[in-house]
């Protein structure tokens, strides 16, 4: 089997990254517009923006992505990591791509002194949740959204 690498997203990855990010939007039934893709891509390459991206690559093909950021945790008086997006191409699922992306994110957390990484997922995302149950601890917190 060929080697899987995880690295920061690069400008040359745009077309492949967009294909993956559209797949992520489709999975969550969130319409992915050109403006959304352009905005997120811009954030990933703007050193003043907190959003960063990782990609998983096998045989020169992008097969997974993770977008994350630093997040202040006032209750702890510290900065933690927040994983916004994690997506693996359907054909690559089951090959530990998600685990590799999360392992690299964990290394980044250690390097930056984050004492935890937090994320949310859909309650019915059972396949991802089986991974998350292996590498993390499910919290007791419920998530709410308020639309202004």
pLDDT band at residue 128 using 50, 70 and 90 as cut-offs: confident
Closest CA to 84 of 71, 97, 99: 71
pLDDT band at residue 133 using 50, 70 and 90 as cut-offs: confident
Report the distance separating Cα 111 and Cα 119, nearest Å: 19
63 close to 57: Cβ distance less than 8 angstroms: yes
Report the distance separating Cα 32 and Cα 129, nearest Å: 24
pLDDT in tens, 42-78: 999 999 999 999 999 999 999 999 999 999 999 999 9
Q: What torsion do the CA atoms of 71, 40, 53, 135 make, to the nearest 10 degrees?
A: 60
pLDDT at 1 over 70: no
Closest CA to 65 of 92, 39, 38, 28: 92
pLDDT band at residue 83 using 50, 70 and 90 as cut-offs: very high
pTM of the complete model: 0.92
């Amino acid at each position: 089997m060929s080697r899987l690498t995880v690295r920061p997203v690069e400008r040359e990855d745009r077309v492949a990254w967009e294909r993956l990010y559209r797949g992520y939007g489709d999975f969550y039934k969130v319409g992915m517009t050109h403006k959304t893709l352009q905005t997120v891509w811009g954030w990933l390459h703007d050193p003043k923006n907190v959003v960063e991206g990782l990609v998983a690559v096998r045989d020169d093909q992008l097969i997974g992505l993770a977008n994350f950021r630093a997040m202040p945790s006032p209750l702890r008086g510290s900065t933690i990591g927040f994983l916004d997006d994690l997506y693996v191409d359907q054909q690559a699922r089951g090959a530990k791509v998600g685990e590799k992306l999360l392992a690299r994110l964990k290394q980044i957390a250690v390097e930056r002194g984050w004492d935890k990484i937090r994320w949310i997922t859909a309650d019915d995302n059972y396949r991802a949740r089986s991974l998350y149950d292996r590498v993390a601890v499910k919290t007791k917190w419920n998530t709410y959204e308020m639309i202004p």
